Amino acid sequence: MNIKVDIKNAGINEEFLKEHQGKVENIMDDLWAEKEIMTKWVKEPMMYADKNFDDILNTALAAQDTCGLFIIIGHEGSLDGIKAIIEACGDKNKAIPEIEFLGEGISNFQYSKILEKMRHYDVNVCVISRTGETVETLVSYRIIRDAMVKRYGEELAAKRTIVFTSPVDSTIRTMATADGSGVFDVSSEFAGVFSVFNEASLFALSVAGVDIESFLKGAEIMATAPAWDIDLFYYSVIRFLMSKENKYIELLKVRDYSLESMSKFLRQTFSETKGNSENFMPIECVNIQKDCNSILYHIANMEEKYLEEEIIIENNLSDIKVPEDIEKLFKESSLFKINNMVTDKADSEYNKDKISTIKIHLKDDSAFSLGQFVYFIFMTGTISGYLMGGKPFEREIVKKIKKGKIQILEKTEN
């Protein structure tokens, strides 16, 4: 496998972790039996092995060839994973359009930036909304749709827009159908972050140059790994045990800007999979280089303990060679190696007395390795959630928040 998990500095005896193996095996058996709703993701990487990718790949290729800017509109779960994988992937096809993401919030700054960028490129748009009622996605769709019509006219704007949404009637489906845009069903069996395995996400990833077949193959390798019966589940148990103490803060650390969205994706995954459990660690995302000073101050002045989880890429597939004078100065030949050297130094400067450390090593930043990593996080996060006593696929809080936003729309319409 391309993933290795180092727990030697986690501060918990391995024999103690093995005592929870029976509980973990029962949880995994239930997940594979799909006893809970929205667990289709568990088997999905294996199911895609029998599917024909030609439709997705051909449609993605057509979208690539006809635009210089590809805008992906979505919110939280339907967007977070796509953004994380695109930014982290080091073996993407380079002949791709510029990629922009919209719908994470309602921001004048973000809309203004993208609307200005649209003036300089041919544009295609992909809208992803599982419910078809997410307010941020609705607003983004209408603003971009209006700009597309002004640029291309009604007919061509519709041809350049593809919408993935619920098969049942919804606000976005009604709008997109009336606009003449291509509308495709997206399964309701993939909720939140787990929607990264549905066809809408795979289409967006493919347009962005990610090898989706390699990505899913990596996920399949992780799903069927014999190591789940040996030690892969340790990570889940450590998170569970430390959450019980109510003294730990979880630090998700990365070394590069390309992994910042991935750390936020992990935070979203762990937040979703805790379900309704009260045993939960607050989570902070950290880029070691730029956040180093604030971490030092925070750790020095807080009583809480930390569970530090660092994602380490061992080989960057899109590494840039530095000029000779920089190489002589740092005794390293590439940006990736210099970044690691500087980061190691920064990381060594703060006191580790209050910190338990887990290091997750990825062999490289290929789509194959990222597929393994994403599945590993999905499974371990879900196991932790169940061990904490929660219901990882319970989405009542999310539904309540969305309902409140929809009521705003209803009042506006009336």
pLDDT at 325 over 90: yes
Separation of first and last alpha carbons in the chain: 56
Q: Is residue 271 part of a domain?
A: yes
Residues 196 and 307 placed together within one structural domain of the fold? no
The residue out of 191, 215, 239 marking a domain boundary is 215
Q: Is residue 395 part of a domain?
A: no
How far, in Å, are 67, 84, 86, 158, 216 from residue 91 at the CA level? 21, 14, 10, 32, 15
For Cα atoms 238, 243, 249, give the angle at the middle one, nearest 5 degrees. 100
Residues 339-388 have pLDDT tens digits of: 999 888 877 776 566 678 899 999 999 999 999 999 999 999 999 999 99
Residues 28 and 96 placed together within one structural domain of the fold? no
Residues 273-318 have pLDDT tens digits of: 887 777 778 888 988 878 877 776 666 666 567 888 999 999 999 9
Q: Is residue 172 part of a domain?
A: yes
CATH (domain of 101): 3.40.50.10490
**DSSP symbols for 96-110:** --EEEEE-SS--HHH
- Evaluated on CA atoms 97, 337, 374, 139, the torsion sign reads negative
The residue out of 173, 190, 215 marking a domain boundary is 215
Domain containing 78 equals 44-215
Residues 85 and 129 placed together within one structural domain of the fold? yes
For Cα atoms 60, 66, 70, give the angle at the middle one, nearest 5 degrees. 65
Residues 142 and 169 placed together within one structural domain of the fold? yes
Q: Is 323 helix (H, G, I), strand (E, B) or coil?
A: coil
Residues 6+ apart with CB under 8 A from 314: 361, 362, 363, 364
Residues 249 and 376 placed together within one structural domain of the fold? yes
Q: Is residue 398 part of a domain?
A: no
Q: Is residue 399 part of a domain?
A: no
Q: Which amino acid is at 412?
A: T
- The CA-based dihedral angle spanning residues 139, 140, 142, 146, taken in that order and rounded to the nearest 10 degrees: 140
Establish how many alpha carbons lie within 13 A of residue 80's alpha carbon, considering only the half-sphere containing its beta carbon. Answer: 22
Q: Is residue 397 part of a domain?
A: no
Structure tokens, 324: 């000779």
Residues 151 and 279 placed together within one structural domain of the fold? no
Residues 280 and 169 placed together within one structural domain of the fold? no
Residues 241 and 320 placed together within one structural domain of the fold? yes
Q: Is residue 407 part of a domain?
A: no
Q: How many CB atoms lie within 10 A of CB 7?
A: 19
Q: What is the CA radius of gyration of the chain?
A: 22
Residues 189 and 211 placed together within one structural domain of the fold? yes
Residues 395-414 have pLDDT tens digits of: 655 555 555 555 555 555 55
Query: Taking the model in full, what pTM does it have?
Result: 0.92
Residues 268 and 342 placed together within one structural domain of the fold? yes
Q: Is residue 230 part of a domain?
A: yes
* 94 neighbors 108 (Cβ within 8 angstroms): no
Residues 51 and 153 placed together within one structural domain of the fold? yes
Q: Is 376 helix (H, G, I), strand (E, B) or coil?
A: helix
The residue out of 215, 239, 265 marking a domain boundary is 215
Structure tokens, 46: 């294996």
Count how many residues are written for the chain.
Answer: 414
Q: What is the number of structural domains in the chain?
A: 2
What is the rounded distance in angstroms from the CA atom of residue 212 to the CA atom of residue 210?
A: 6
Residues 104 and 230 placed together within one structural domain of the fold? no
Residues 212-223 have pLDDT tens digits of: 999 999 999 999
